Chain A
Amino acid sequence: MLEVSSLGCLRGERRLFAGVSFSLRPGGLIWIQGGNGSGKTTLLRTLCGLTHAMAGEVRWSGTPIQLLGEEYRRELTYIGHANGLKEDLSAQENLLVAAHLVGQPVSRAEVAGALQGSGLAGREHLAVKFLSQGQRRRVTLARLRLMPPRTLWLLDEPFNALDTHAVAGMRKIMENHLSQGGMIALTTHQDVAIQAADVQTLRLDA
């Protein structure tokens, strides 16, 4: 379970948000909403432990995430605004390396399957620099098809640059993850109806 209590963050000397509290139970989804510059990305990065909060804390199963360190990082998958893909590697190499780095050995067949599911069949061996923005996003999101054991997904604008077909595919994967007891925190400008037992909304610029 992810618990966030009276979290506050600064950018420079300016206050981005303060007093953000929520908790996310297995199967729960939280939408983080707000205009540009309201701190959505900063909040997600704080949940990852990349950014330190100026006030409040983030706890995972009751323990602050700073104390958990690697143990917490083993539980989460973060998809940032940037795709985190190496342009000179192919889609398949990118996914293989990414999965092995986080200690999740996957076979090439599994990677090929995930890419196929993301609608990238036939482009597995193409260097990422030759892919379109939407295709790159699909490669990045294919990580979610590969790494089911990780319980907490933190997704920053996952539907950016995706077409409606791909959005529908992603929605299904996220619903599947939630129904298996996973947790998702996401920011998005698009209106995507995701079915989940427990859906919360958090407005940052309120």
Chain B
Amino acid sequence: MSKLCGWMPEDAGEMMQTLRYVVFRDVLLAMRRRADVATTLFFFVIVASLFPLGVGPEPKLLRAMAPGILWVAALLASMLSLGRLFAEDYADGSLEQLVLVPEPLALVVIGKVVAHWLVSGLPLVLISPVIALQFDLPRDAIVTLLLALLLGTPLLSLIGAIGAALTVGVRGGGVLISLLVLPLYVPVLIFGAGAVDASAMGMDASGHLSILGALLLLGMVLAPWATAAALRISLE
């Protein structure tokens, strides 16, 4: 805990302080439960490894399918961890306290999304090159995959937070989240996998990455507000 006080700059604005403490709190909690973080990661690895077993070990086919497989696995893994984003805080009453924080709720949401990405998105990005090697992707394509996941996974967390907030405290919320969120993930999947595809075929992927970046910006602006509105409604 001594880290806690040294980690905060003294002159940080109150808003930044709240934001940082939300991130800190959630990351600290995740570190206390490392098994949960590992579960998401292994889910990603296992789903990606199941496809060759399903479609056969033909390297050419696998190479062609790799971008799509990796992205679908990333989508599912990111969605799997969404259930925890607000549900536990709701159950133990700390979500009410977070809503009563004297800062805009969207700020708290941003903090929680950042923490969610650090805990469930970033590890996935880091391990993806290893999975890509299993599918024999060329080196350029692996670099593109890393960049695309780096831009795409925060977007998945942002969009997913809306679904998680809407289903807080709803029975069967876990299954419902997938129904709400997966259709909204479609553009991320198309441009993310498209970038890797283009790169694997020796084409320029910067167009795809730019669109992903633009979508990420749009998501950063709009998703926290929608999530905040959804949280207020769910807590009523």
At the interface, yes or no: B104 with Cβ under 8 Å from chain A? yes
Interface string of B16-32 (1 = CB under 8 A from A): 01100110110011001
In the assembled complex, A70 has its CB within 8 A of some CB on chain B: yes
Within 8 A of B (CB), among A77-92: 78, 80-90, 92
* 8 Å CB interface, A119-176 against B: 127
Most buried by A among B1, B8, B18, B29: B1
> Of B22, B24, B92, B102, which is within 8 A of A86 by CB?
B92
Q: CB within 8 Å of A: which of B68-121?
A: 91-94, 96-104
Name which residue of chain A comes closest to B233, CB basis.
Answer: A52
Output the nearest chain A residue to B12 by Cβ-Cβ distance: A105
Choose from A50, A87, A96, A100 the contact partner of B96 (Cβ within 8 Å): A50
The secondary structure that dominates the B interface is helix
B9 to chain A: closest CB distance in Å?
12
Q: Is B58 an interface residue (CB 8 A)?
A: no
Q: How far is the CA of A83 from the CA of B8 in the complex (A)?
A: 26
Inter-chain contacts of A52 with B (CB < 8 A) = 236
A84 near B14 with CB under 8 A, answer no
B194 CB to nearest chain A CB (Å): 40
| Chain B residue at minimum C-beta to C-beta distance from A82 | B93
Cα(A20)–Cα(B8), bound, Å:
45
Q: Which residue of B lies closest to A96 (CB)?
A: B4
In order of increasing CB-CB distance, the 6 nearest A-B pairs are: A82-B93, A84-B93, A88-B32, A74-B102, A73-B102, A84-B94
Residue pair A84, B97 in contact (C-beta under 8 Å): yes
Q: Does A89 contact B101, Cβ atoms closer than 8 Å?
A: no
Interface of B with A (CB < 8 Å)? 1, 4-5, 8, 14, 17-18, 21-22, 24-25, 28-29, 32-33, 91-94, 96-104, 235-236
Q: Report the number of A-B residue pairs with Cβ-Cβ less than 8 Å.
A: 90
Query: A101–B100 Cα gap in the complex (Å)?
Result: 10
Q: Is A97 engaged at the interface, CB distance under 8 Å to the other chain?
A: yes
Chain B residues within an 8 Å CB radius of A81: 93
The closest CB in chain B to the CB of A42 belongs to B236
Q: Chain A contacts of B5 at CB under 8 A?
A: 107-108
Query: What's the Cα separation between A127 and B29 when bound, in Å?
Result: 11
CA gap between A50 and B28 in the complex, in Å? 27
Are B33 and A78 in contact, with the CB atoms below 8 A?
no
* In contact, A97 and B25 (Cβ under 8 angstroms): yes
Q: Which residue of the partner chain B has the closest CB to A94?
A: B94
What residues of chain B lie closer than 8 Å to A92, measured between beta carbons? 1
Asked if residues A73 and B94 are in contact (CB atoms below 8 Å), the reply is: no
Interface check A48, CB cutoff 8 A: yes
Closest B residue to A48 by beta carbon equals B100
Are A102 and B102 in touch, CB under 8 angstroms? yes
Which chain B residue lies CB-closest to A100?
B21
Interface status of A103 (Cβ within 8 A of chain B): yes
- Contact A84 to B236, CB < 8 A, known contacts A73-B100, A78-B97: no
**Which residues in B have their C-beta under 8 angstroms from that of A93?**
1, 4, 28
Nearest chain B CB to A49 CB, angstrom units: 8
- The reply to whether A103 and B92 contact each other, CB–CB distance below 8 Å, is no
A51-B236, A100-B18, A103-B101 given; name 12 further pairs at CB < 8 Å.
A52-B236, A73-B102, A78-B100, A82-B96, A84-B92, A84-B96, A85-B92, A86-B92, A89-B28, A89-B29, A89-B32, A93-B4
